[in-house]
Amino acid sequence: MPHANAIPTVKLLIGGELIESKTTQWRDVVNPATQEVLARVPFATAEEMNAAVASAKDAFKTWRKTPIGTRARIFLKYQQLIRENFKELAAILTAEQGKTLPDAEGDVFRGLEVVEHAAGIGTLQLGELANNVASGVDTYTLMQPLGVCAGITPFNFPAMIPLWMFPMAIATGNTFVLKPSEQDPMVTMRLVELAMEAGIPPGVLNVIHGGAEAVNLICDHPDIKAVSFVGSTKVGTHVYNRATQNGKRAQCMMGAKNHAIVLPDAHKQQTLNNLLGASFGAAGQRCMALPVVILVGEAQAWLPELVEKAKTLKVNAGVEAGTDVGPVVSCAALDRIGGLIAKGLEEGAELVLDGRDPQVQGYAKGNFIGPTIFSKVTPEMTIYREEIFGPVLCVLQAATLDEAIELINANPNGNGTAIFTRSGAAARHFQEEIDVGQVGINVPIPVPVPIFSFSGSRASKLGDLGPYGKQVVLFYTQTKTVTQRWFDENDVGGAVNTTITLK
């Protein structure tokens, strides 16, 4: 049972109703700046999770036949409700996740863009037709929904990533079971409440909470047809293998070690500012953050100025005005980051800016770590090989652009990369030779807008199709090909056709 005090409990959503879980296992949702317990989240029972899937399966019978215009209008209404509640959503997100308010607003806004994209499903889910493929024969395709789909989302974007998933799945005619991160589910639940208010029918969207048992149920349940996941490589690999072995479609966006190359001809001040924002924004807790910078040739002399600029960033609670770097999500995350910094020193990297143990007035219990910069990093070091997921930047050097490209291509991950240069020839060479799914040219975090698809590659992604954009419409639908011929009532027919050729 939940605590007997006044701490609120996070609800399940099953069959259109917000339900108090009957579980005996609960987890605190903690404000990372203060350690205040904001709510208690249940680890749903197997019976509750199965009920959510059953509700989605039952709702699919009618939702799949709902007119496409009706589905689109729900998401038109939904985007309006998100806009009307924008500040509230950002405030909830900051309280439970730790982001600065501007960054939390960006989290909500990037999810809102996908909702707007879902409202255009009428043109996105069109099939194809070929007239007279043979005499009197036409062939056309239908893009039909799969059934019950599911999503497993991480702590670092508790608004954006759920909105990557369920709007596009539902807009294409599927029903959905969502498992948010148990660390910060409150903003996700507020978004779910607004989705129901927008008109999503009971059972079409369901929410369960939990840990490994919930993940495994999603991967194993025979009525779930497709699984979308964003999170760590370890869990993502497990989800992909388990789900696909059970005959499901799966898309898993996983770990990263993104690199930026800085050429000496780059716009110096713009580049340094972009590096700081991409490396230390959101306290480095982005899968598309920039934890590695390769300074090429004369750009290696820019390191002292990069360090001085990083020293000016303000570490504080996300709700405080002017904050650049908020707390990391948990005490465990803080301890892990500190351990990796210590490992970097042990292995010979030079700590040119130490952000450990910053003094944040009024928030003595917060999970704070300031901007931290290592130089003289080599690819063999733990701080280079592992995803730190904190405000820690590793600086490497290269003599030439090709040397830098070779270093990036040798890394197993392929989520994102960037180059800073004024040379179109260098940028095009980089674009052609780099083996990474998402490329920025003077753009440090090249996450595409929703008319394109998120396209991480190599060890950063399992599954052929990425979230949102055109690819996700293919992921959430199956193609049915129809070949038809109609005979005239007065047609006496021809000879018996014993071949499979249409003429």
Strands 461-462 and 249-253: antiparallel
Q: Distance between CA 74 and CA 61 in Å, rounded?
A: 18
- The 10 Å CB-count burial string (b at 16+, else e) for 254-266 is bbbbbbbbbbeeb
The catalytic site residues sit at 287
Q: What does DSSP assign to residue 315?
A: B
Q: Distance between CA 271 and CA 397 in Å, rounded?
A: 16
Contacts of residue 304, Cβ cutoff 8 Å, sequence gap at least 6: none
Q: Distance between CA 415 and CA 467 in Å, rounded?
A: 13
Contact 257, 387 (CB under 8 A): yes
Residue 91 tokens read as 């405030």
Contact 313, 350 (CB under 8 A): no
User: Which of 222, 228, 188, 225 is closest to 208 using CA atoms?
Assistant: 188
| Tokens 């807008």, located at residue | 449
Read out DSSP for 464-497?
A: S--SSHHHHHHHTEEEEEEEEE---TT----S--
CB burial of residue 199 (10 Å; 0-12, 13-18, 19+)? middle
Q: Which helix or strand (DSSP H or E) is residue 53 part of?
A: helix 46-63
Contact 295, 396 (CB under 8 A): yes
Contact 472, 146 (CB under 8 A): no
Exposure on the CB side of residue 388, measured as CA atoms within 13 A: 32
Write down the H helix ranges in 322-466. Answer: 331-346, 382-385, 401-410, 424-433
